Amino acid sequence: MKEALIHGTCVDINQKAVLICGSPGFGKSSLALQLIDRGATLVSDDQTILTLEERRVVVSAPLAFKGLMEVRGVGICSFPCQGKAFLELCVDLCEEDQLERLPKLAFAKHQGIKVPLLKLKRRDPLGAIKVELKLCSLGLKTL
C-alpha cells in the first residue's frame, strides 16, 4: 500500500502515536501542544504521512515540516520531534452535539488497518487528559 498524506497533527506518547484530526480551527495543534507540555513528543503538525509497516500504521512528518508546529498567535515554533512512530490512537475533534455521553469502542481505518478512535469536543480544555485516559483504557501505558 502506498503512503497517504492526511491533514492532521500527530504526537508520540511513550512510543504510542496519537493522530489528531478535525476541521481547521478546531484545535489540533492546541491539543498537541497540551500533550507536549505533559511530556509527549511532536511527530508532525498539520500534515502527517501514513505508511504500512509490519501490518501496523506508521506516522511521520513531511521533511519540510519535521520538528515544526504552528502555534496560533505565536508563529512557527521548533520542537524536538520523533521521526516516526506506530499509530495507536486517532482523535477526531468535532462539535459537542456529535459526541455520545458513554460511547462504544469506535475505530478509524487508515492504510486498511483499524485504529481505536476517540471523539473529543473541539477545543476541549480537558482534551489532553482525556487522550491519556483513552490510551490507559486501551491498556496502553502513558506518561
Q: Domain spanning 4-134: which CATH class is it, in words? A: alpha beta
CA atoms of 143 and 134, how far apart (whole Å): 13
Q: Which of 77, 88, 91 is nearest to 114 (CA)?
A: 88
Burial of 74 (0-12, 13-18, 19+ CB in 10 A): exposed
pLDDT digits (tens, 9 = 90+) for 48-95: 999 999 899 999 999 999 999 999 899 999 999 999 999 999 999 999
| DSSP structure class, residue 95 | -
In the chain, domain spans: 4-134
Distance, CA of 74 to CA of 107 (rounded, Å): 34
pLDDT digits (tens, 9 = 90+) for 58-69: 999 999 999 999
Query: Which three three-digit cell numbers place residue 72?
Result: 496560533
